[in-house]
Structure 1
Amino acid sequence: MPERQITVVGECVADAFTMPGGAAPGELALRVLPGGGPANTAAALGRLGTPVRFLARLSGDAFGRLFRAHLAASGVDLSGCPDAAEPSTLAVADLDAAGRADWSFHAEGTADWQWTDQELAAVPLDATDCVHTGSLALVRPPGGARIEDLLDRVRDRATVSIDPNVRPLLVPPAAYRARLPRWCALADILRLSEDDLSLLLPGTSAERACDDWHRAGVRLVVVTLGDRGALASLDGRRVTVPAAPATVVDTVAAGDSFTAGLLHLLRTRGLLGGRLDAVTLQDVADACRFAARVAALTCSTAGPNPPWAHQLQAAPAPAAD
């Protein structure tokens, strides 16, 4: 019998970071790392020891080869990834003094958004306890609607997790708002940042947003609040978890790593594979505390570089409530 696993569906993006002082006058030096929200989550799950399969359309270009090497080295199963003829997506990041990234994207006609029904139907999902997706691959045509159909097909046997990861430079927030009711009807877990919340529901508190999304069908909503920790709401019962101590280099992929930590701990407790019927608020609090530690370690290194399981043993935990 195949080992039960988490399947992540979404994009790989070449994250190019500007390097001030790293080039001659008149030139720009870039450091390119493998990124993309879903790919970051898959890599973090693999490094934590969770059996994880990643579904992405991987180009054969230099960036695509970088993605494959990085994900495979992180323990991610890439057997379901089609070979794409289109080029990889590129994102260029300028970091401010606090480590926050200002992104520009080069994504027209790239591989990530071109899913076909045949490609998605070819992947066996019988051993999947949870399907996680989100970000640009879920909202950009033509592939986004096809990923939604995939979620609809697997809901009878797998927990569905979505991270909207709003990217207003590429897709107007109104497009996310239009799709959000459908995502809430499909998802058991919705994890998003407070920046996502401000773009999706401007002026709405996290508590009110959680209640709205519960009514739309989501059982567990987690809103990450940066250095203020996270708010989690399970069917309207809420818990706030502080951030774990961190020496911040940058915040790239912190939310993606948080999602991985959350799913990892829920899976470890045997709580994935359905509609979260056995999950308690204590389980949610424990999963968020663990996820905060994973995110903090990601912030302590440059770029999308999630921690390995052995690094968690020495990492400080968030304070108890």
Structure 2
Amino acid sequence: MNVSFFASRTISWYMARVFVVRSAAVLAALVLVLMALDLLGESGDILAYKGNGDAQLWYYTSLRLPQLVQRFLPFSVLLGTLITLATMNQNSEIISMKAAGISAHQILAPLVAASLAIAGLSFWFNDHVVARATAVLTAWQNVDYGPIPKAHGVTSNVWVRAGEDLVHADRVVSRGGHVTLQGVSYYDRTGDRLIAIANAPRADYQGGAWVLQNVHRFDVAAGKMATIPSATIGQGVTPDRFTLANIDADGMSFRGLAEAISALRAAGRPTAGLETVLWHKFSGPLSAVLMPLLAGVAGFGLARSGVLFIRAVIGMALGFTYFVADNFALAMGNIGAYPPLLAAWSPFLLFLLIGEAVLIRTEE
């Protein structure tokens, strides 16, 4: 019996090539269909902004495509594995390999090695392409598909809680260590009651508080609007509360998110949800490595016995169950119910053991 990791160089290259080609074909088909559906849903909002046309639709497509590739790459690897192994089983190629003394693990080894390369490429793609596209698309959507502000150090649509009160800023501009709020709305609350709403075009941080200029204040109880030259709000609310309040973890690279988490931790802010996303930037791409193992059950057994379809369904069910468990753990980590490491890695390790147990139990 051949006890090497790979059965032979020829068989390994053949299986890896077929697997990669079919996974890429599935990914292209999925992304093409989903991009068309997504564009149909968003085109109305994009074209609703005056001056937008075909160029903006193509621009949206260029920003949305990387997100779809990132999201559906593991699904494509799962379906590519199922198609590859089921076809080889039906053509008696798997039976020929096993008759030659090749074990089930050796049959799956080229697929796992190719998936590891796909996972590495996926991590680079997510870190350098998807993160930037997500950040730009989010900023574009925040201005209703209008012109994105060009100023450096600008954050849009920030909410901060100041005791019982709420402060909203359309834009937070940070230049040279000085933070300015633009388009400020201040909601003065006592208990569950809204007392007043103050709107101002600008707020500056002075003396440990925020000073609003040219304030329009609406008294809820009296139902009257008043204009005052200035008002002071948010005593003790430091500028970092605004500059760090609107972190889009999906729109940041691994290194950028790690630095933001360090800054938040130094400021005494909770970071468990962001740490979960940080670790998931590793475990997410590695899910591609699991797919050959989970879908491997479809490649074995006699095709003529009538259970090939059932085996394919079992492999698909294992793969999709993993994605459900992964999303659930990620959601639990984001709300702080699970520790970050547990939320990011427990589904991967659990289904790695499940896939290995199924493979050993049924084929080895």
The TM-score, its normalising length taken from structure 1, stands at 0.29
Instruction: Report the structure number with the largest CA radius of gyration.
Output: 2
- Under a length normalisation based on structure 2, what TM-score does the superposition of the two structures give? 0.27
